[in-house]
Structure 1
Amino acid sequence: MKLSPAVILTAALAGVVTMGGVAVAVDSRAGETVAQAAAELPPSAVEDFAYPQADADAALKARGIKLKSGDGHIMYAACTAVDDPSRIEVYSHTEPNKPFCFRVTGAAGSLVLELPRVYAVRAGDYKVHVDMTVEKSEVSFDVPKNEWVGVGKTTDPQKRDHALVALTASK
């Protein structure tokens, strides 16, 4: 037997609930206890994969790069003189000869960002997949481990500027 929501609500308000076809009286105060217990619980944590706001704001202010979201395994990082095998270097005409660096942790990672005028990517010990946009089109490039690859304007016959919109790395 299928009950309408109105019948269920009326029965619940009257203190009667049907279980397996048998009507059972319910103490109306039990509902209050459940509601009180639920109100005392901390809110549930729901991961939205947004890039940590303070870090994203600092990167935008310092270098003009918009860090949007990711899985936490590719993080914007300082480019140090030491060769870091977990590092991905991205070159943009916004700051020629001064790379934007990202550090990969774990076996794989992803990052959604916005960096205009990208022309080259260097991968460390990870294969890197690069998603870019040009005008209203999307293009992708694969960068093998420990290699440099020209991307964006470097490969475009029309020499249009491309914006980097996503990095994905895997071992």
Structure 2
Amino acid sequence: MKASTGRAVTPRRASFIARTLGAAVAAGALAWLAVTGGVPVEAGTKTEAVTPVADEVPGYAIEDFSYPGADKILAEKNITLKRGDGNITLVDCASGTGFIQVWARERDDEKICFKVVGNSGWLTLEIPSVALIKGNDYTTQVDMTVGTEEKTFDIAKNAWTSVGETADPQGREQLLVEIRSTR
């Protein structure tokens, strides 16, 4: 029996192997430069180090749930909007229907409206002297404070609910501090 000596290397096959090895060596060199942070490079008459791009990463974006444009809304409408998940937003009452409507005694029949989107939402805010809130299709609860005491009210769907001073036996003025809604 004759022993196999393998295939003969043809010039075409040798060229292919050389190109493949050359590409692998080049890729390895680039990977090494990326890992080690570069090598000194001659620039003009002095030697400068190449700075890796990874050292210039921008800072992290951290959501703090602050209400966007809150300062402008406070200045224009005297409503303090603090934080929320973005699913309850202040809207113009004339822009549609199905909003949560808040009536505060100090606002002379001007209602404040909030639109709820998604399956749930929350918003912390400050509106003084709130006496009535009209719910929408969501199940809604509000928290109000009077002094150091906090009260929670369930808001009827699509109907006005007495809250704050109109629901307080002592008739004390109360501050609306949070709205929570779920579908």
- For Structure 1 versus Structure 2, the TM-score category normalised by the shorter chain is 0.7 to 0.9
Q: Is 1:117 aligned to 2:133, yes or no?
A: no
Q: Is 1:169 aligned to 2:181, yes or no?
A: yes
The normalised TM-score by structure 2 is 0.70
Q: Is 1:93 aligned to 2:112, yes or no?
A: no
Q: Which amino acid aligns with 1:126?
A: Y
Spell out, residue by residue over 1:8-52, the C-alpha distance to the aligned partner (whole angstroms, 9 max, x if none).
Answer: xxxxxxxxxxxxxxxxxxxxx95757x944432222211000001
Flag the structure with higher helix content.
Answer: 2
Q: Distance in 2 between matches of 1:137 and 1:32?
A: 59
| Greater Cα radius of gyration, structure 1 or 2 | 2
Spell out, residue by residue over 1:82-117, the C-alpha distance to the aligned partner (whole angstroms, 9 max, x if none).
Answer: 4x12x1100101203111111111111100001100
Q: In the alignment, which residue of structure 1 is the partner of 2:161?
A: 149
SS state at 1:94 partner: helix
Count of equivalent residues? 139
- Where relative contact order (Cα < 8 A, 6+ residues apart) is larger, the structure is 1
Matches within 5 A, 1:44-59: 44-52=60-68, 55-59=69-73
Return 5+ residue gaps in structure 1 as ranges: 1-28
Q: In the alignment, which residue of structure 1 is the partner of 2:90?
A: 76
Q: In the alignment, which residue of structure 1 is the partner of 2:30?
A: none
Q: In the alignment, which residue of structure 1 is the partner of 2:119?
A: 107
Taking only aligned residues, the RMSD between alpha carbons, in angstroms, comes to: 2.1
Q: Distance in 2 between matches of 1:73 and 1:43?
A: 26
SS state at 2:64 partner: coil
Q: Which amino acid aligns with 1:124?
A: N
Q: Distance in 1 between matches of 2:140 and 2:65?
A: 20
Q: Alpha carbons of 1:37 and 1:153: their partners in 2 closer, same or farther (altered >3 Å)?
A: same
Q: In the alignment, which residue of structure 2 is the partner of 1:63?
A: 77
The normalised TM-score by structure 1 is 0.74
Q: Distance in 1 between matches of 2:127 and 2:168?
A: 17
Instruction: Tell me if structure 2 keeps the 8 A contact 1:126–1:144.
Output: no
SS state at 1:80 partner: helix
Matches within 5 A, 1:9-20: none
Q: Percent identity?
A: 39
Return 5+ residue gaps in structure 2 as ranges: 1-33, 39-50
